Structure 1
Amino acid sequence: MKLVKRIANLGYGSRKEVALMFREGRITDPDGEVLYADDQVPHERIRIDGEPLDPPPGLVLMMNKPLGATCSRKDAGRVVYDLLPPRYRLRDPALSTVGRLDRDTSGLLLFTDDGALLHRIISPRSRVAKVYEATLAQDLRGDEGALFASGTMMLESEKEPLEPAALDVLAPRRVRLTLTEGRYHQVRRMFAAVGNHVETLARISVGALTMDGLGPGQWRALNAADVAQVFSAPPPADA
């Protein structure tokens, strides 16, 4: 692929705008030597205004999604894409969230432009574990763990029972819940079904991948070892 198209596909501008960058000498190698549009240069040796080029297609990011942001491209309020560089909205192939967290749920959110990887993560057959921590409006009554783990729990308007879920009690009103599926507002609906209400909810891991110290709204690109953790068992509840 020609350099102009490769850089334009990363969202740095239209092909015409990227061609102008070449003419202005803004695209160089790490030593500051000006590159030309027909040069054959490895991705990692390209600089724009002295900065390394964004990762090529196959990009995977994780973000600590803050409260109040929605997993949408078009919303009247704040969206998760506002927390990324503006050019990330223009990448081709497009960068998409891997599943969603609602506006009132914070925590670990993945993005990728790799469609096959996205579908592998969200596929029920992959049984990727998602771990949430929640605070509740009322004390647990005591039988929630057995019910959630039974594989027979039905939610209102659903036609299939929930897959077994593991409940770890951290305090009378604080829990950790591990799911291997992702139905609409599942955690909130599970507790509503047993007469309780989720007051705060955060996803703390996907597989063995955790937020690794990211603050709200912060993000980073993942490497192959990070992505492999997505398909590994989650850390224990006391980790």
Structure 2
Amino acid sequence: MRGEVRLNKRMADLGLCSRREADEWIARGWVLVNGEPAVMGMPVAPGAKVEVLPQARHQQAGQVTILLHKPMGYVSGQPEDGHEAAATLIGAPSQWRGDARHPADGRRFAPEHTRGLAPCGRLDIDSVGLLVLTQDGRIARQLIGENSGIEKEYLVRVQYAPNGPHGAGVVTQDVQAVFPADKLALLRHGLSLDDQPLKPAQVDWMNPEQLRFILKEGKKRQIRRMCEQVGLHVVGLKRIRIGNVVLGNLPVGQWRYLGAGEGF
């Protein structure tokens, strides 16, 4: 029938859950379509009534989202090249309880909170700052889904290296004074990566050696590669905000739960 899509995609599009969660719920008999138990992989028409049973809602309510201040030397996802995954830092000893503004910080760590915990977006091995890991497919889709437009803010310490980082004439201090205005404009809009034009970005000087980037996309090593194209060499990169959630005073290597009243 025209307009039909697979049930798991429809559920994800409706914001009910991720496709993976949808398949799990369907397999457990927790999903009804037009009042009848759903079948894995079934197509549904645009007007079909999709219902989720309370068991699924209960399971979803127990899922956690964790905010980690990732140190340098850890990878965001699976371990690689001898470097540990950032998720290995999640445990009772490293839970931060220093921010009383967020009620979820009173939640006690439980080992099941690390099961199925997935990073929402990249943060390079040599970058630090806010990393979101979640068990909730709705949050993952919100942050890294193909239509996600959530802002991500970074502080980026740079040197001006028009001849390459190891060439002659590298400027390490008061970079702002010598960096051409037309190249700053290019960082804001006009560059491409992987043969794809980048979305407009907010890029401004915070001090003479540090830029602030606000992006609405997240290509691999995007900021470093953008800077390379205009003769800048990144010597430090820190993510300080994702949407409405800020890194704040969360110490390096520590983590906290996303608060009950927080959202991206």
Please name the residue that 1:172 is paired with.
208
What are the equivalent positions in structure 2 for 1:1-239 lying under 5 Å apart?
A: 57-75=62-80, 76-85=82-91, 94-138=116-160, 139=175, 140-150=179-189, 152-155=190-193, 158-226=194-262, 228=263, 230=264
Q: CA deviation at 1:220?
A: 0.3
Q: CA deviation at 1:121?
A: 1.1
Confirm or deny: 8 A CA contact 1:134 1:200 kept in the other structure: yes
Q: Tell me the alpha carbon deviations over residues 64-105 of structure 1, each in whole angstroms, 9 at most, x when there is no partner.
A: 111111113334223212211289776586111111211100
Task: Note the aligned Cα RMSD (angstroms).
Answer: 2.3
Q: CA deviation at 1:117?
A: 1.7
2: CA distance, partners of 1:162 / 1:135: 21
Q: CA deviation at 1:125?
A: 2.1
Q: CA deviation at 1:153?
A: 1.6
Confirm or deny: 8 A CA contact 1:106 1:203 kept in the other structure: yes
Q: Secondary structure at the match of 2:74?
A: coil
Instruction: Tell me the amino acid that sits aligned with residue 185 of structure 2.
Output: A
Instruction: Tell me the amino acid that sits aligned with residue 79 of structure 2.
Output: K
TM-score normalised by L of structure 2: 0.59
Confirm or deny: 8 A CA contact 2:77 2:118 kept in the other structure: no
Confirm or deny: 8 A CA contact 1:167 1:178 kept in the other structure: yes
How many correspondences in the alignment? 171
Q: Secondary structure at the match of 2:73?
A: coil
2: CA distance, partners of 1:89 / 1:136: 40
Q: Secondary structure at the match of 1:126?
A: coil
Instruction: Tell me the amino acid that sits aligned with residue 219 of structure 2.
Output: R
Instruction: Tell me the amino acid that sits aligned with residue 83 of structure 2.
Output: G
> Relative contact order (alpha carbons < 8 A, sep ≥ 6): 1 or 2 greater?
2
Q: Tell me the alpha carbon deviations over residues 150-187 of structure 1, each in whole angstroms, 9 at most, x when there is no partner.
A: 3x3213xx122000000111123211000000001000
Confirm or deny: 8 A CA contact 1:105 1:201 kept in the other structure: yes
TM-score normalised by L of structure 1: 0.65
1: CA distance, partners of 2:144 / 2:76: 15
2: CA distance, partners of 1:65 / 1:79: 10
Deviates more, 1:170-179 or 1:78-87: 78-87
Q: CA deviation at 1:195?
A: 1.2
Confirm or deny: 8 A CA contact 2:64 2:136 kept in the other structure: yes
Instruction: Tell me the amino acid that sits aligned with residue 188 of structure 2.
Output: A
